[in-house]
Structure 1
Amino acid sequence: MAYELYYWDGIQGRGEFVRLALEEAGAEYVDIVREPGRGTGAMFDIIGSEHEPHIPFAPPFLKDGEVIIPHVANILLYLGPKLGLAPGDESLRYVANGLQLTVTDFVAEVHDTHHPIDLSRYYEEQKQEAKARSAAFIRERIPKYLGYFERVLRQNPKGTDHVVGGTLTYVDLSLFQVIEGLTYAFPKAMAKRKADYPLLLALHDTVAKRPNIARYLASPRRLAFNEDGIFRHYPELDGTE
């Protein structure tokens, strides 16, 4: 039975972290909202259900038969062992989950660079606040997070090819997406920092060349970054430190 992924259409967003794992593993899945005749109605049927005992708060969520799993890190914790994308050592699976939760925190901060005041207001209504937030993000938060992940890679007892353990995990895929997104959103700021994170950038390049990922990136299933998603490129927010 195919996995069912529920997320907004038209953007990569948080759902992309799950898609990358499914695509790398060659897993059978259906991106429900993108299916003809389904749309967001299928997603809200579950979120707004008066009968489903374990309703998710918001997308993304994954449906595996009768099981519904919400939240990116939670979904990947569930999928990782099934897809061969989690460490074999059970204790390291929790290390991987902790790293993924840190990615979740980072992605939330990325989102807040363009919506620092009010999620219900357009970016154009909070541009000045966004400039201040982005300047602080570029100056302090990018080095804080990327420096941490670079150090984790450098100190991995199994070598610097992967962030946890000695084989590819979903965290490696997620860090690929983080670098992709930051490079799109803040190209000038990221260009200045490339030399600071050689291991992360090498990991990014290695993931991009993996056969299943390369095919996915070249396919129409991989939506382009745009200014409706989490990683948005507004030139006035880039390099404002």
Structure 2
Amino acid sequence: MIFGVLPQKKNQYALRILGNCGEFTSEELLRLSELTAKFGNGKITATSRGTFELNGVSESELEPAIEAVQAAKLRLGGTGATVRAVVACKGTDCRKGMFDVHAFACRLDKEFYGIDVPKKFKIGVFGCLNSLGKAMAQDIGVMPSFTEPGKFEIYIGGLLGNRPVQGKHIPVPLKEEMVADAIRYVLDIYKTNGIYPQRLRTVLDDKKELWQEINYYFKSLAK
């Protein structure tokens, strides 16, 4: 299946459109609306990861719709066995946000989005303790530190779906510049030890020594 295309019922398809870590310009939304009216069923679905899906594209219109999305300079993707688009809360503008969440998430998205992995891999960046549950639902969730201002807490191995599991807290607060190194290390572990269709949490729980390796690495970063 083409990247960013999702099969639907009645032999139809949806096109998943990515924004800039959940943000879309008014011009992008207008272009998406026009394409939905032309190629889809006139309905756009918002997803939990800040993307939009253009619904109801027939098989005969699929290729022209994809070409039109690309011509409109909209970002088609966010499917398959890859690192998915990084999700960010509204902490940049929210009064409770403790740092520039969107800018941080965009830096991570630029580095990690689209990397091939055994199944899929979700990263989330959140701006305050009110989003603790969301951070714990990611393969890697990033939040401001509870104990050390200016640093970040990391949660690893969260899952939603039909077998929800809370991500484990790694009790080593990291400076912002260390977070990408930590994610890179966890991704390398996943790619080295995982096979399709395993998610990160399954890999880590099957080889529990990997949890210890992650803890050791985080401690080395924090020194």
More helix by share: 1
TM-score between the two structures when normalised by the length of structure 1: 0.29
Select the structure with the greater relative contact order (CA < 8 A; seq sep ≥ 6). 1
TM-score between the two structures when normalised by the length of structure 2: 0.31
More strand by share: 2
